[in-house]
């Protein structure tokens, strides 16, 4: 099955700086890559996703890039704010599948 890995496990950034989280996946047939954000004590929520026919997608301060050849995708957060502090999960879904394979999560800490 699909295997997704996330790096680094913890990331600390100064407020206003950018944060980048990378994920790699194993199944070249994967075609859907969502990112979920989980704030402390809350449920994971989708913040952005990308499909395999697109290389980049942006939504205000967050963007996701996909490199199908290298089988990795990244989340970029610009002008970080304290409310960006959370655990971020990447995931991948293989073609024809209903299930997502999640990475282990990244703790992002934004230092005011």
Long-range CB pairs of 38-45, under 8 A, 24+ apart, other chains included: 38/86, 38/87, 38/88, 38/89, 38/105, 39/85, 39/86, 40/86, 44/89
Considering only 93, 94, 108, 110, the residue that binds other proteins (CB under 8 A) is 93
CB 84 within 8 Å of CB 19:
yes
Cα of 81 vs its chain's centroid, Å: 17
Q: Judged by CB under 8 A, does residue 34 bind other proteins?
A: yes
The 10 Å Cβ neighbour count of residue 45 is: 11
Q: Judged by CB under 8 A, does residue 104 bind other proteins?
A: yes
Looking at 15-23, 35-43, 60-68, 70-78, which segment touches other proteins (CB under 8 A)?
35-43
Looking at 18-26, 56-64, 75-83, 95-103, which segment touches other proteins (CB under 8 A)?
95-103
Q: Closest CB to other proteins among 32 and 71? A: 32
* Contact positions vs other proteins (CB under 8 A): 1, 9, 32, 34, 36, 42-46, 49, 89, 93, 98-105
């Amino acid at each position: 099955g699909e295997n997704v890995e996330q790096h680094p496990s913890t990331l600390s950034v100064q407020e206003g700086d950018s944060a980048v989280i990378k994920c790699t996946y194993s199944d070249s047939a994967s075609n859907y890559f969502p990112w979920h954000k989980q704030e402390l004590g809350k449920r994971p929520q989708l913040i952005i996703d990308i499909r395999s026919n697109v290389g980049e997608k942006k939504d205000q301060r967050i963007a996701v890039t996909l490199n199908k050849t290298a089988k990795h995708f990244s989340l970029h957060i610009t002008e970080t704010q304290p409310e960006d502090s959370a655990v971020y999960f990447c995931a991948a879904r293989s073609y024809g599948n209903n299930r997502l394979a999640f990475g282990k999560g990244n703790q992002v800490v934004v230092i005011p």
